[in-house]
Amino acid sequence: MATRTMQAARCPTDELSLTNCAVVSEKDLQSGQHVTVRTTPTHKFVFTVKGHHSVLPGTIAFSLPQRKWAGLSIGQEIEVSNYNFDKSRQCIGAMTIEIDFLQKKSTDSSPYDSDKMAAEFIQHFNNQSFSVGQQLVFSFCDKLFGLLIKDIEAMDSSILKGEPASGKKQKIEVGLLVGNSQVIFEKSESSSLTLVGKAKTKEARQTIINPDWNFEKMGIGGLDKEFSDIFRRAFASRVFPPDIVEQMGCKHVKGILLFGPPGCGKTLMARQIGKMLNAREPKIVNGPEILNKYVGESEANIRKLFADAEEEQKRLGANSGLHIIIFDELDAICKQRGTGASSTGVHDTVVNQLLSKIDGVEQLNNILVIGMTNRPDLIDEALMRPGRFEVKMEIGLPDEKGRVQILNIHTAKMREFKLLASDVDVKELAAETKNYSGAELEGLVRAAQSTAMNRHIKATSTVEVDMERAEKLQVTRTDFMASLNNDIKPAFGTNQEDYSSYIMNGIIKWGDPVTRVLEDGELLVQQTKNSDRTPLVSVLLEGPPHSGKTALAAKISEDSQFPFIKICSPDKMIGHSEISKCQAIKKIFDDAYKSQLSCVVVDDIERLLDYVPIGPRFSNLVLQALLVLLKKTPPHGRKLLIIGTTSRKDVLQEMEMLDAFSTTIHVQNISSGDHLVEALELLGSFTDAERTTIAQHVKGKRVWIGIKKLLMLIEMSLQMDQEYRVSKFLSLLKDEGALDENNHIRI
């Protein structure tokens, strides 16, 4: 029909109002036709018409919701023309409808099945036109509902042609409802309506993961495995279609606990999880901020954190967005209950409040709480059970591949602006930085940058930058190496000074006994590295005092090139109580477990145990701690070599400690004249003539002296005048009982 002018009228019956059609006389138009109604030159609306005998020719009747939507008044003259749908582009693929009770007084709390509602809607309104923003009334289960069309997506034209879906989504303003359209109901924000079934949420809600998400851009390196584990446990259920999750009776994970050494990226990871998700900005809380000196305020602070999530869950139910709450330094507020000495018990009630909010009687399903701590052992165990912080993830020191990623992230900008010299090899740096945490690697880059900048500062009476040279600034390999050696040392690494003092004079290989100890030590190092069956290898170097046991232990550990080497020595624990000594020893072992490959030297065990022969007395507390730690297998994937040293094998035998070591290696004193001469030759302290004289005196004689004591005697002799040095040395040997003129056998 050509455009004609008609008059707007009131819909004759309530029953016709529920059809969502404009009602006309059968003489004017046929039922099922679509028309465009133009109210002003710029406003037009598409309706599907229905013929009825009670409507006068020349008029077109609208229901109240239709008149509201189109802004029509009764008796208004409007232009009506035919509207033809393009079936290839205007069939409705998915339509989102906001639903609420039509009258507030007729509300009820019984659940309405949105799947049945959608099926009835399609049956009732099949082949009708719908527009975005359109209002209509819908009757379901003898209840009237007010509907508002929020969003329409066109059906994929490939499906209409019988081809596989192309996946393209096209938004349209006007569409035609067909039998296989998808109808999604969402309750309006203020509604108390309860919807169940899968048509209550749009499938697009699955896009919880931000499409622009990228590890490298976010500045996270070396945590790929940890991220994928967290994703599998905490987000897989949130990405899945809600109807399948509902059918499985699956509850989302509500808590993640990130723990590990400082500087390994726990806080960074938690912050980036918030960016990764299409959720609102996460609430970041520093543990100690929660605590308040007034009674009840600390608990109120916890409640405030969850208030938004509670309110949204009540309003939107399963459609509620995800609320992320991040607790930094969780151990500050969630200590074990009953351990606090204060009379108020504030910590305990804060823990109770947090427990009830995460997984109490009125539990929330729209929250994700991320906790971070360096001390998981301090946290109340009730928080650790499934349903609360059930995903526990150790963010450990990065491996070599992770260190490459981290260094690439921190040098990316320099590379972009050509400020990184071509001789800087990130892979070489990653290999050199064993046991460095992410923060320490960032510090290393900063230190190298400052070293490079320092070259371009003129050291005159005033500090000024040499601008000509500054423009050619480049950070070179030398800058990185200087920073590596001088500025940044890993907290969980090897303290060079620790063991270099024990071998400052080098290892004097005076004979087979020394070579054999080093060879056996090398075998044990290889076993620790290569064997999967023995992740824990422990060896005891025992022998007489001054025989060089500690130096040999330090040498074996240095040659192992393990990323973590620590010496547990009595000189670091002078004046410690038994308990603090146990804690110090335990900390060394705990730190060792954090590295892939570790070596711990437990030096002078009888001194650690406070052993004295008078009494006899020793510290049973330290003994028991050592016995446990010597036998404790490191965590999965970690390997540990323990080297113990003692001068009192007999005492350790009585204490039943020898059984705690995998093997024992005997370190000998120098016991023959030939070996003594060999040692003097290697030390090179005496002249050839002097050594010949000494050799004549000791040849064939029985000698008994430790290499450490020998060094001391040599140095004393060298203080004499040239002609007295040899005689002084020989007399010192006799005085010490190290040289037996009668060749008696020493026991």
How far apart (Å, rounded) are the C-alpha atoms in residues 571 and 578?
A: 14
Identify whether 550 is a catalytic site residue: yes
**What H or E segment, with its residue span, contains residue 163?**
none
597-602 vs 182-187, strand pairing mode: unpaired
**Among residues 50, 549, 594, 709, which one is catalytic?**
549
How far apart (Å, rounded) are the C-alpha atoms in residues 650 and 659?
A: 13
How far apart (Å, rounded) are the C-alpha atoms in residues 65 and 135?
A: 6
SS3 of the chain: helix, strand, coil, percent, to 5: 40, 20, 35
How far apart (Å, rounded) are the C-alpha atoms in residues 427 and 496?
A: 23
**Among residues 331, 359, 380, 604, which one is catalytic?**
604
At 537 the three-state DSSP class reads strand
From residue 8, alpha-carbon distances to 14, 60, 220 in Å are 17, 5, 64
Identify which of 647, 683, 699 has the alpha carbon closest to the alpha carbon of residue 668: 647
How far apart (Å, rounded) are the C-alpha atoms in residues 155 and 172?
A: 10
**Among residues 392, 529, 586, 708, which one is catalytic?**
708
From residue 627, alpha-carbon distances to 299, 584, 599, 620, 658 in Å are 44, 15, 17, 10, 10
Identify whether 728 is a catalytic site residue: no
**From the CB of residue 129, how many other CB atoms can be counted at a distance below 10 Å?**
24
Identify whether 87 is a catalytic site residue: no
**Among residues 304, 401, 631, 699, which one is catalytic?**
631
Specify whether the backbone of 700 is left (phi greater than 0), alpha (psi in -120 to 50) or beta: left
Residues written for the chain: 747
How is residue 327 written in tokens?
Answer: 């607790």
**Among residues 201, 603, 646, 709, which one is catalytic?**
603
How far apart (Å, rounded) are the C-alpha atoms in residues 260 and 377?
A: 11
Identify whether 603 is a catalytic site residue: yes
Q: What are phi and psi of 122, to 5 degrees?
A: -65, -40
**Among residues 550, 594, 646, 709, which one is catalytic?**
550
How far apart (Å, rounded) are the C-alpha atoms in residues 253 and 230?
A: 10
Which residue carries 């060079």 as its tokens? 496
Tell me if the bond preceding 544 is cis, omega within 30° of 0: no
Active site (catalytic) residues: 549-550, 603-604, 631, 708
